A and B are shown apart, each in its own frame.
Chain A
Amino acid sequence: MPLWLPCHLAKFLIMSSNKFSDHGSGLLPQERLSGWHWYRRGMRHLLSTPAIVLYFSLLGFGSFCHESGIDLYLAMFMTFTTWAIPSNVILIGGILSGSGALAIFVAVALASVRMMPMVVSFVPEVRDKGTQTWKLVLLAHFTAITSWVFGMRELPGLPRYGRVPFFAGFAVSLAILSIGVVALGHGIAGVVPPVVAAALFLMTPLYFLLTLPSAARLLSDKLALVFGFALGPLFALIVPEVGLVLTGLVGGIGAYAVGYWKRRLA
Protein backbone atom coordinates (compact mmCIF):
# COMPACT_ATOMS: atom_id res chain seq x y z
CA MET A 1 0.00 0.00 0.00
CA PRO A 2 1.42 3.41 -0.94
CA LEU A 3 2.58 5.55 1.95
CA TRP A 4 0.27 8.46 1.31
CA LEU A 5 -2.84 6.37 1.74
CA PRO A 6 -2.71 5.93 5.55
CA CYS A 7 -1.92 9.63 5.94
CA HIS A 8 -4.89 10.62 3.86
CA LEU A 9 -7.12 8.13 5.55
CA ALA A 10 -6.25 9.77 8.82
CA LYS A 11 -6.81 13.21 7.36
CA PHE A 12 -10.24 12.27 6.08
CA LEU A 13 -11.24 10.67 9.33
CA ILE A 14 -10.39 13.86 11.18
CA MET A 15 -11.92 16.36 8.79
CA SER A 16 -15.51 15.72 7.93
CA SER A 17 -14.98 14.91 4.30
CA ASN A 18 -18.39 15.43 2.79
CA LYS A 19 -17.37 18.93 1.78
CA PHE A 20 -14.62 19.39 -0.73
CA SER A 21 -12.00 21.73 0.52
CA ASP A 22 -11.57 24.95 -1.29
CA HIS A 23 -14.34 26.45 -3.34
CA GLY A 24 -15.11 30.13 -3.20
CA SER A 25 -12.15 30.84 -0.96
CA GLY A 26 -12.65 34.57 -0.98
CA LEU A 27 -11.05 35.51 -4.28
CA LEU A 28 -11.41 39.11 -5.30
CA PRO A 29 -13.65 39.25 -8.37
CA GLN A 30 -11.16 41.25 -10.43
CA GLU A 31 -8.35 38.75 -9.90
CA ARG A 32 -8.01 36.53 -12.94
CA LEU A 33 -5.95 33.45 -12.25
CA SER A 34 -4.28 31.39 -14.97
CA GLY A 35 -5.80 28.25 -16.46
CA TRP A 36 -2.92 26.26 -15.06
CA HIS A 37 -3.79 27.50 -11.59
CA TRP A 38 -7.35 26.15 -11.98
CA TYR A 39 -6.06 22.92 -13.49
CA ARG A 40 -3.85 22.33 -10.48
CA ARG A 41 -6.70 23.23 -8.18
CA GLY A 42 -8.81 20.54 -9.85
CA MET A 43 -5.95 18.07 -9.50
CA ARG A 44 -5.88 18.65 -5.77
CA HIS A 45 -9.13 16.70 -5.57
CA LEU A 46 -7.40 13.55 -6.84
CA LEU A 47 -7.06 12.48 -3.23
CA SER A 48 -10.58 13.51 -2.22
CA THR A 49 -13.07 10.96 -0.96
CA PRO A 50 -14.86 10.42 -4.31
CA ALA A 51 -11.53 9.81 -6.04
CA ILE A 52 -10.28 7.36 -3.40
CA VAL A 53 -13.56 5.44 -3.45
CA LEU A 54 -13.28 5.26 -7.24
CA TYR A 55 -9.72 3.87 -6.94
CA PHE A 56 -11.00 1.16 -4.61
CA SER A 57 -13.68 0.11 -7.07
CA LEU A 58 -11.18 0.24 -9.94
CA LEU A 59 -8.96 -2.13 -7.98
CA GLY A 60 -12.00 -4.43 -7.91
CA PHE A 61 -12.52 -3.90 -11.63
CA GLY A 62 -8.86 -4.70 -12.36
CA SER A 63 -9.13 -7.99 -10.44
CA PHE A 64 -12.38 -8.74 -12.24
CA CYS A 65 -10.59 -8.26 -15.60
CA HIS A 66 -7.84 -10.64 -14.52
CA GLU A 67 -10.32 -13.29 -13.41
CA SER A 68 -12.22 -12.91 -16.69
CA GLY A 69 -9.08 -13.56 -18.71
CA ILE A 70 -8.76 -9.97 -20.03
CA ASP A 71 -5.09 -9.18 -20.42
CA LEU A 72 -3.45 -6.31 -18.56
CA TYR A 73 -3.00 -3.94 -21.50
CA LEU A 74 -6.54 -4.38 -22.77
CA ALA A 75 -7.87 -3.75 -19.24
CA MET A 76 -5.86 -0.52 -19.03
CA PHE A 77 -6.91 0.50 -22.54
CA MET A 78 -10.63 0.00 -21.97
CA THR A 79 -10.53 1.86 -18.67
CA PHE A 80 -9.36 5.01 -20.41
CA THR A 81 -11.10 4.77 -23.78
CA THR A 82 -14.57 3.90 -22.47
CA TRP A 83 -14.24 5.63 -19.11
CA ALA A 84 -17.39 4.02 -17.75
CA ILE A 85 -17.09 0.92 -15.58
CA PRO A 86 -20.61 -0.39 -16.33
CA SER A 87 -19.90 -0.37 -20.09
CA ASN A 88 -16.68 -2.30 -19.59
CA VAL A 89 -18.37 -4.82 -17.32
CA ILE A 90 -21.04 -5.43 -19.97
CA LEU A 91 -18.32 -5.79 -22.62
CA ILE A 92 -16.47 -8.40 -20.57
CA GLY A 93 -19.70 -10.25 -19.82
CA GLY A 94 -20.44 -10.29 -23.54
CA ILE A 95 -16.97 -11.54 -24.44
CA LEU A 96 -17.22 -14.34 -21.86
CA SER A 97 -20.59 -15.47 -23.16
CA GLY A 98 -19.33 -15.37 -26.75
CA SER A 99 -21.66 -12.57 -27.91
CA GLY A 100 -21.06 -10.80 -31.20
CA ALA A 101 -19.95 -7.18 -31.52
CA LEU A 102 -23.43 -6.01 -32.50
CA ALA A 103 -25.13 -7.63 -29.49
CA ILE A 104 -22.58 -6.11 -27.13
CA PHE A 105 -22.89 -2.75 -28.87
CA VAL A 106 -26.67 -2.71 -28.31
CA ALA A 107 -26.35 -3.79 -24.66
CA VAL A 108 -23.71 -1.15 -23.93
CA ALA A 109 -25.68 1.53 -25.78
CA LEU A 110 -28.82 0.80 -23.74
CA ALA A 111 -26.87 0.92 -20.49
CA SER A 112 -25.06 4.17 -21.40
CA VAL A 113 -28.02 6.33 -22.39
CA ARG A 114 -27.44 8.18 -19.12
CA MET A 115 -24.38 9.82 -20.67
CA MET A 116 -26.55 12.04 -22.88
CA PRO A 117 -28.70 13.74 -20.22
CA MET A 118 -25.66 13.81 -17.93
CA VAL A 119 -23.65 15.72 -20.51
CA VAL A 120 -26.60 17.96 -21.49
CA SER A 121 -27.02 19.03 -17.86
CA PHE A 122 -23.29 19.25 -17.24
CA VAL A 123 -22.32 21.46 -20.20
CA PRO A 124 -24.21 24.56 -18.95
CA GLU A 125 -22.38 24.22 -15.63
CA VAL A 126 -18.90 24.00 -17.13
CA ARG A 127 -18.93 26.25 -20.19
CA ASP A 128 -17.95 29.86 -20.28
CA LYS A 129 -18.92 32.32 -23.03
CA GLY A 130 -16.91 31.22 -26.05
CA THR A 131 -15.72 27.84 -24.76
CA GLN A 132 -14.83 25.93 -27.93
CA THR A 133 -16.87 22.85 -28.80
CA TRP A 134 -13.80 20.61 -29.06
CA LYS A 135 -13.04 21.33 -25.42
CA LEU A 136 -16.57 20.32 -24.46
CA VAL A 137 -16.31 17.13 -26.52
CA LEU A 138 -13.04 16.32 -24.79
CA LEU A 139 -14.45 17.02 -21.32
CA ALA A 140 -17.57 15.01 -22.16
CA HIS A 141 -15.37 11.95 -22.60
CA PHE A 142 -14.20 12.30 -19.01
CA THR A 143 -17.73 12.71 -17.73
CA ALA A 144 -18.72 9.57 -15.85
CA ILE A 145 -20.75 9.28 -12.66
CA THR A 146 -17.91 10.20 -10.29
CA SER A 147 -16.78 13.28 -12.19
CA TRP A 148 -20.35 14.30 -13.03
CA VAL A 149 -21.39 14.31 -9.36
CA PHE A 150 -18.16 16.13 -8.56
CA GLY A 151 -18.74 18.73 -11.29
CA MET A 152 -22.39 19.35 -10.48
CA ARG A 153 -21.41 19.94 -6.85
CA GLU A 154 -18.22 21.93 -7.22
CA LEU A 155 -18.55 24.00 -10.39
CA PRO A 156 -21.40 26.33 -9.34
CA GLY A 157 -19.11 27.77 -6.65
CA LEU A 158 -16.35 28.71 -9.09
CA PRO A 159 -15.96 31.64 -11.48
CA ARG A 160 -17.04 30.75 -15.03
CA TYR A 161 -13.63 31.21 -16.65
CA GLY A 162 -11.96 28.75 -14.25
CA ARG A 163 -14.42 25.92 -14.64
CA VAL A 164 -13.09 24.20 -17.79
CA PRO A 165 -9.47 23.95 -16.56
CA PHE A 166 -10.61 23.07 -13.03
CA PHE A 167 -12.78 20.21 -14.22
CA ALA A 168 -10.13 19.05 -16.68
CA GLY A 169 -7.57 19.07 -13.89
CA PHE A 170 -9.73 16.74 -11.87
CA ALA A 171 -11.39 14.52 -14.46
CA VAL A 172 -8.53 14.04 -16.95
CA SER A 173 -5.94 13.34 -14.27
CA LEU A 174 -8.39 11.03 -12.54
CA ALA A 175 -8.77 8.96 -15.72
CA ILE A 176 -5.00 8.80 -16.27
CA LEU A 177 -4.33 7.80 -12.68
CA SER A 178 -7.10 5.21 -12.94
CA ILE A 179 -5.21 3.37 -15.68
CA GLY A 180 -2.49 2.67 -13.14
CA VAL A 181 -5.00 1.69 -10.46
CA VAL A 182 -6.65 -0.84 -12.78
CA ALA A 183 -3.22 -2.26 -13.59
CA LEU A 184 -2.57 -2.61 -9.87
CA GLY A 185 -5.93 -4.34 -9.38
CA HIS A 186 -5.10 -6.67 -12.26
CA GLY A 187 -1.78 -7.49 -10.62
CA ILE A 188 -3.13 -8.16 -7.14
CA ALA A 189 -6.01 -10.37 -8.37
CA GLY A 190 -5.94 -13.59 -6.40
CA VAL A 191 -3.99 -11.97 -3.59
CA VAL A 192 -7.06 -10.11 -2.35
CA PRO A 193 -9.57 -12.43 -0.63
CA PRO A 194 -12.86 -12.68 -2.59
CA VAL A 195 -14.79 -11.17 0.33
CA VAL A 196 -12.69 -8.03 0.10
CA ALA A 197 -13.16 -7.96 -3.68
CA ALA A 198 -16.92 -8.08 -3.07
CA ALA A 199 -16.66 -5.20 -0.61
CA LEU A 200 -14.67 -3.20 -3.18
CA PHE A 201 -17.49 -3.70 -5.67
CA LEU A 202 -20.00 -2.38 -3.15
CA MET A 203 -18.07 0.82 -2.45
CA THR A 204 -18.91 2.62 -5.69
CA PRO A 205 -22.71 2.31 -5.51
CA LEU A 206 -22.53 3.14 -1.80
CA TYR A 207 -20.57 6.27 -2.46
CA PHE A 208 -22.96 7.40 -5.20
CA LEU A 209 -25.92 6.67 -2.96
CA LEU A 210 -24.53 8.98 -0.28
CA THR A 211 -23.36 11.85 -2.50
CA LEU A 212 -26.11 12.08 -5.11
CA PRO A 213 -28.60 13.82 -2.80
CA SER A 214 -26.09 16.64 -2.28
CA ALA A 215 -25.62 17.15 -6.03
CA ALA A 216 -29.40 17.22 -6.54
CA ARG A 217 -30.24 20.87 -5.94
CA LEU A 218 -33.73 21.15 -7.40
CA LEU A 219 -36.91 19.46 -6.29
CA SER A 220 -37.14 17.67 -9.64
CA ASP A 221 -33.57 16.34 -9.21
CA LYS A 222 -34.36 14.96 -5.77
CA LEU A 223 -37.62 13.40 -6.88
CA ALA A 224 -35.87 11.88 -9.89
CA LEU A 225 -33.44 10.14 -7.51
CA VAL A 226 -36.30 8.74 -5.44
CA PHE A 227 -38.16 7.58 -8.55
CA GLY A 228 -34.98 6.10 -9.98
CA PHE A 229 -34.24 4.10 -6.84
CA ALA A 230 -37.80 2.79 -6.75
CA LEU A 231 -38.28 2.09 -10.46
CA GLY A 232 -34.77 0.77 -11.17
CA PRO A 233 -35.18 -2.67 -9.57
CA LEU A 234 -38.82 -2.91 -10.64
CA PHE A 235 -38.15 -2.32 -14.34
CA ALA A 236 -34.99 -4.44 -14.19
CA LEU A 237 -37.18 -7.41 -13.22
CA ILE A 238 -40.09 -6.73 -15.60
CA VAL A 239 -38.19 -5.60 -18.71
CA PRO A 240 -34.50 -6.50 -18.23
CA GLU A 241 -33.21 -5.19 -21.58
CA VAL A 242 -34.72 -1.73 -21.61
CA GLY A 243 -35.34 -1.42 -17.86
CA LEU A 244 -32.69 1.21 -17.32
CA VAL A 245 -33.83 3.41 -20.20
CA LEU A 246 -37.42 3.21 -18.98
CA THR A 247 -36.33 4.06 -15.43
CA GLY A 248 -34.69 7.22 -16.76
CA LEU A 249 -37.59 8.25 -18.96
CA VAL A 250 -40.49 7.48 -16.60
CA GLY A 251 -38.70 8.58 -13.42
CA GLY A 252 -37.08 11.64 -15.00
CA ILE A 253 -40.09 12.96 -16.89
CA GLY A 254 -42.33 12.28 -13.89
CA ALA A 255 -39.99 14.15 -11.54
CA TYR A 256 -39.65 17.04 -14.00
CA ALA A 257 -43.44 17.27 -14.35
CA VAL A 258 -43.96 17.44 -10.58
CA GLY A 259 -41.18 20.02 -10.28
CA TYR A 260 -42.66 22.11 -13.11
CA TRP A 261 -46.11 22.00 -11.55
CA LYS A 262 -44.73 23.04 -8.14
CA ARG A 263 -42.84 25.96 -9.69
CA ARG A 264 -46.00 27.14 -11.44
CA LEU A 265 -47.92 27.04 -8.18
CA ALA A 266 -45.25 28.93 -6.24
Chain B
Amino acid sequence: MTILFDSFDTAWWPYLFMLLAASLPTEMWRWLGVAFAGRLRDDSEWILLARAIANALVAGVITRLILFPTGALLQVPVWMRLVAVAVSVGFYFGLVRNLFVAVLLGAATLTGLALLFSVPMT
Protein backbone atom coordinates (compact mmCIF):
# COMPACT_ATOMS: atom_id res chain seq x y z
CA MET B 1 0.00 0.00 0.00
CA THR B 2 1.28 3.41 -0.90
CA ILE B 3 1.21 5.87 1.95
CA LEU B 4 -0.05 9.21 0.68
CA PHE B 5 -0.27 12.75 1.98
CA ASP B 6 -4.05 12.45 2.12
CA SER B 7 -4.21 8.82 3.29
CA PHE B 8 -5.74 9.76 6.63
CA ASP B 9 -8.24 12.49 7.18
CA THR B 10 -6.95 13.77 10.51
CA ALA B 11 -5.35 17.03 11.52
CA TRP B 12 -2.05 15.46 12.59
CA TRP B 13 -1.47 13.20 9.59
CA PRO B 14 0.09 15.85 7.26
CA TYR B 15 2.58 16.65 10.02
CA LEU B 16 3.54 13.02 10.57
CA PHE B 17 3.74 12.44 6.82
CA MET B 18 6.04 15.44 6.52
CA LEU B 19 8.28 14.22 9.36
CA LEU B 20 8.58 10.75 7.82
CA ALA B 21 8.97 11.73 4.17
CA ALA B 22 11.13 14.87 4.48
CA SER B 23 12.55 15.47 7.98
CA LEU B 24 13.79 11.95 8.61
CA PRO B 25 15.67 11.52 5.29
CA THR B 26 17.32 14.93 5.82
CA GLU B 27 18.05 14.45 9.50
CA MET B 28 19.53 10.97 9.22
CA TRP B 29 22.50 12.32 7.24
CA ARG B 30 23.13 14.90 9.95
CA TRP B 31 23.11 12.17 12.62
CA LEU B 32 25.48 10.07 10.52
CA GLY B 33 27.72 13.12 10.14
CA VAL B 34 27.95 13.58 13.92
CA ALA B 35 28.59 9.84 14.37
CA PHE B 36 31.44 9.85 11.84
CA ALA B 37 32.98 13.08 13.08
CA GLY B 38 33.00 11.67 16.62
CA ARG B 39 35.41 8.95 15.52
CA LEU B 40 37.77 11.27 13.67
CA ARG B 41 40.59 13.45 14.89
CA ASP B 42 40.34 17.11 13.91
CA ASP B 43 43.31 16.80 11.54
CA SER B 44 42.20 13.55 9.93
CA GLU B 45 42.50 13.18 6.17
CA TRP B 46 38.88 11.98 6.15
CA ILE B 47 37.78 15.43 7.31
CA LEU B 48 39.55 16.99 4.33
CA LEU B 49 37.84 14.52 2.02
CA ALA B 50 34.47 15.28 3.62
CA ARG B 51 35.06 19.01 3.15
CA ALA B 52 35.80 18.50 -0.55
CA ILE B 53 32.70 16.33 -1.04
CA ALA B 54 30.55 18.83 0.87
CA ASN B 55 31.80 21.71 -1.28
CA ALA B 56 31.16 19.79 -4.51
CA LEU B 57 27.65 18.85 -3.32
CA VAL B 58 26.78 22.40 -2.30
CA ALA B 59 28.05 23.68 -5.66
CA GLY B 60 25.87 21.05 -7.33
CA VAL B 61 22.82 22.19 -5.35
CA ILE B 62 23.46 25.81 -6.36
CA THR B 63 23.65 25.04 -10.08
CA ARG B 64 20.41 23.09 -9.71
CA LEU B 65 18.63 25.95 -7.98
CA ILE B 66 19.59 28.18 -10.91
CA LEU B 67 19.18 25.82 -13.87
CA PHE B 68 16.34 23.58 -12.66
CA PRO B 69 14.43 25.76 -10.20
CA THR B 70 10.97 25.48 -8.72
CA GLY B 71 8.14 27.96 -8.40
CA ALA B 72 8.06 31.31 -10.15
CA LEU B 73 11.71 31.22 -11.25
CA LEU B 74 10.91 28.33 -13.59
CA GLN B 75 8.92 30.71 -15.80
CA VAL B 76 11.91 32.99 -16.43
CA PRO B 77 13.99 31.72 -19.41
CA VAL B 78 17.34 30.13 -18.58
CA TRP B 79 19.37 32.77 -20.40
CA MET B 80 17.87 35.55 -18.27
CA ARG B 81 18.76 33.66 -15.11
CA LEU B 82 22.30 33.16 -16.39
CA VAL B 83 22.69 36.83 -17.36
CA ALA B 84 21.45 37.88 -13.90
CA VAL B 85 23.94 35.50 -12.26
CA ALA B 86 26.77 36.74 -14.50
CA VAL B 87 26.01 40.40 -13.72
CA SER B 88 26.00 39.70 -9.99
CA VAL B 89 29.17 37.57 -10.02
CA GLY B 90 30.95 40.04 -12.33
CA PHE B 91 30.04 42.96 -10.10
CA TYR B 92 31.13 41.21 -6.91
CA PHE B 93 34.42 39.70 -8.07
CA GLY B 94 35.27 42.35 -10.66
CA LEU B 95 34.13 45.67 -9.23
CA VAL B 96 32.93 46.02 -5.64
CA ARG B 97 33.09 43.29 -3.00
CA ASN B 98 29.73 44.12 -1.51
CA LEU B 99 27.56 41.04 -1.08
CA PHE B 100 24.34 42.81 -0.42
CA VAL B 101 24.55 45.09 -3.44
CA ALA B 102 25.71 42.20 -5.65
CA VAL B 103 22.78 39.98 -4.66
CA LEU B 104 20.27 42.82 -5.08
CA LEU B 105 21.80 43.68 -8.45
CA GLY B 106 21.35 40.08 -9.63
CA ALA B 107 17.73 40.07 -8.49
CA ALA B 108 17.11 43.45 -10.13
CA THR B 109 18.68 42.29 -13.39
CA LEU B 110 16.38 39.27 -13.46
CA THR B 111 13.30 41.38 -12.75
CA GLY B 112 14.36 43.97 -15.33
CA LEU B 113 14.98 41.41 -18.08
CA ALA B 114 11.69 39.64 -17.39
CA LEU B 115 9.80 42.94 -17.59
CA LEU B 116 11.75 44.18 -20.61
CA PHE B 117 10.99 41.07 -22.65
CA SER B 118 7.52 40.84 -21.06
CA VAL B 119 7.89 37.24 -19.97
CA PRO B 120 4.42 35.85 -19.22
CA MET B 121 4.27 35.15 -15.46
CA THR B 122 1.40 33.59 -13.58
Contacts and interface: CB of A to CB of B under 8 A. Distances in A.
Interface of A: 9, 12-13, 16-18, 49-50, 52-53, 60, 63-64, 67, 71, 74, 77-78, 81-84, 86-91, 93-95, 98, 100-102, 104-106, 108-109, 111-124, 133, 136-137, 140-141, 143, 145, 148, 193-212, 216, 218, 220-229, 231-233, 235-236, 243-244, 247-253, 255-256, 259-260
Contacts of A137: 30-31, 34
B46 interface: yes
Given A17-B98, A253-B53, A119 B59 contact: no
A110 to B, nearest CB: 8
B46 A259 contact: no
Q: Nearest 10 A-B pairs (CB), nearest first?
A: A228-B59, A119-B33, A252-B53, A251-B56, A123-B37, A100-B2, A232-B60, A232-B63, A248-B57, A114-B57
Interface in B40-68: 40, 42, 45-68
Interface of B: 2-5, 14-15, 17-34, 36-38, 40, 42, 45-73, 75-76, 81, 84-85, 88-89, 92-93, 96-103, 106-108, 110-111, 114-115, 119, 121-122
B28 A256 contact: no
A201 B72 contact: yes
A9 to B, nearest CB: 8
B54 A118 contact: yes
A108 B25 CA distance: 6
B47 A121 contact: yes
